[in-house]
Amino acid sequence: MRTNFKTALLAAALLMSSGSALAEGNFWMWLVNFSRQKEVQPVDNKAYKDECGSCHFAYQPGLLPGKSWAKLLDEKALADHFGEDASLDKDTLKEIYDYTMANAAEKSYFKRSRKIALATEDGEAPLRITEVRYIKRTHHDIPEKMVKGNKDVKSQAYCNACHTKAEEGIFDEDTVDIPNFPKRD
């Protein structure tokens, strides 16, 4: 009996310690994970990082719902991507498309992605990060002079201008540092 109890403890400890490494890749891992991921899953696809990240901050797939990614990552849409030609060859496009589909906000078990997915109305497909309801809501009280009127920020679309750990998928308020303005408590 006693050994059985010990084994159970060991198994539980193993589950707990491996939890953070495995994160919440699926529902079961999410259920047994005692250090739940609060943020957004960092980008872990090379093609995505290279292709999207060569022109702008590589927004994590978990920042937008799948419907948004589907609209953005269409061959025709990419030829006029917010005014720029961002066309990709078929194979690369497919890889990136599939990657975003598998990791879109509503597919992710990361807390912030869940919030983004929950705040998105049915059928809504925001194309700009600044149109995402959750992001709009969490940024609404930031004065314009700190963003638009700030030469080192210019737009909320440049996440990493203020979110110092944006590349790691961390958007926590403690990691925010707005250029040209003292750190807020």
* Chain contacts with another protein (rule: CB under 8 A): 54-57, 79, 82-89, 154, 158
The residue among 83 and 123 lying less far from another protein, judged by its C-beta, is: 83
DSSP class of 44: -
What tokens does 30 get?
A: 């999410």
Q: Which is nearer to another protein, 23 or 88 (CB)?
A: 88
- The DSSP letter of residue 133 is H
Write down the least CB distance from residue 56 to another protein, Å. Answer: 4
Pick the closer one to another protein by CB: 81 or 115: 81
Whole-angstrom CA distances from 35 to 9, 31, 40, 104 are 17, 10, 14, 21
Closer residue to another protein in complex, CB, 14/55: 55
| Residue 51 CB, nearest approach to another protein (Å) | 9
CB closer to another protein, 40 vs 88: 88
Residues 6+ apart with CB under 8 A from 43: 49, 53, 58, 60, 61, 169
- Beta strand extents in 90-156 (DSSP E only): none
Query: How far apart are alpha carbons 63 and 147 in whole angstroms?
Result: 20
The closest of 164, 57, 52, 42 to 108, measured between CA atoms, is: 42
Three-state SS at 135 = helix
**What does the block give as tokens for 11?**
């198994």
Residue 94 CB, nearest approach to another protein (Å): 15
The CA-atom distances, in angstroms, between 129 and each of 13, 18, 81, 117 are 39, 33, 14, 13
Query: Closest separation between CB of residue 60 and another protein, Å?
Result: 16
Shortest distance, position 119 Cβ to another protein, whole Å = 26
Q: Would you say 92 or 138 has its CB closer to another protein?
A: 92
Q: What is the nearest approach in angstroms of another protein to the Cβ of residue 173? A: 24
